[in-house]
Amino acid sequence: MKGNILKMQTTLGDAAKNQPVQYQLPVGEGLLAMNAYIGQHIKLDYQGEINCIACGRKTSKSFAQGYCFPCFRSLAVCDMCVMRPETCHYAEGTCREPQWGETHCFIPHYVYLANSSGLKVGITRETQVPTRWMDQGATQALPIFDVANRKQSGLLEVVLKQHISDRTDWRKMLKSDADPLDLKAQRDELYETCSAEIADIIKQQGDGEIRRIDEQIVNIKYPVAEYPKKIKSLNFDKEPEIEGTLMGIKGQYLMLDTGVLNIRKFSGYNIDVNFV
């Protein structure tokens, strides 16, 4: 198959039944069911063309995982407040795309704990559960707050990340599955440690806007035959032809015996994909 690629689509499997995440790679107008090719030789040839995933125009360089520079400068999805939602400036009348903000930011969000390369805190729209966790390569996840909008989730994350990381160590995540954690115990400890700051945020935001929740831990298994002993990052901008045996898939990474490839980073790249 040949065409522009996008980040892999995921379907959660039942980890209790040893069922891994199912991955599909969008290539042009088609989808490749990637799990079926683990153990096979894959060759990916970059055709020297990138198309913006928003407007479709050709671009010599990709920004923010798939956008041309004009879209990077103008679209709300590329604004800094997406990465730091506590800095939301919608109320100031300066949102790049107010309608986009209303449909993507002013909807219910979760604050969650996850175990990817270790314990981390994160936020996501309710509509992105469990996709967000699979994209990060988490093996466990637990929603701990249900909030009314993205800014509120960001305010809580700022408090919690003073005590635990808000980032995934992608190299560590790709070397093995993280040791299991008691996420509910970690949650309860954070509730106690941050009780005063959490209470202040709830008071500021109003009754019913922020709720503590008691959900079940979601366990996630990935289709990995063998983890790499060393992590070498593969890059189409430096190596237009990438090939090797597909050893596994985790997060948005293809794990080859020659290195690991972050598919999401190269969204919009025109790739010829072949299996042997």
Average pLDDT in the 159-183 region? 96
Could you count the other beta carbons within 10 Å of the beta carbon of residue 89? Answer: 14
Chain segment 32-75, per-residue pLDDT in tens: 999 999 999 999 999 999 999 999 999 999 999 999 999 999 99
Q: 276 pLDDT exceeds 90?
A: no
Better-scored residue on pLDDT, 276 or 56: 56
Which pLDDT belongs to residue 155? 97
**pLDDT for the residue 56:** 97
204-255, pLDDT tens digit by residue?
A: 998 889 999 999 999 999 999 999 989 999 999 999 999 999 999 999 999 9
- Of 143, 146, 130, give the one whose Cα is nearest residue 220: 130
Q: Nearest 5°: phi and psi at 24?
A: -130, 130
pLDDT in the model for residue 207: 81
Q: What's the CA gap between 258 and 261, in Å, rounded?
A: 10
What pLDDT is attached to residue 265? 97
Q: Six-digit token pair at 26?
A: 């969008």
Q: Which residue has the tokens 């945020």?
A: 201
Question: Mind listing the pLDDT tens digit for each residue in 104-148?
Answer: 999 999 999 999 999 999 999 999 999 999 999 999 999 999 999
The pTM for the full model equals: 0.95
Q: What is the mean pLDDT of residues 195-206?
A: 95
* Strand, helix or coil for residue 152: helix
3-state secondary structure of 40: coil
pLDDT value of position 255: 98
Domain ranges of the chain: 2-65+223-275, 109-219
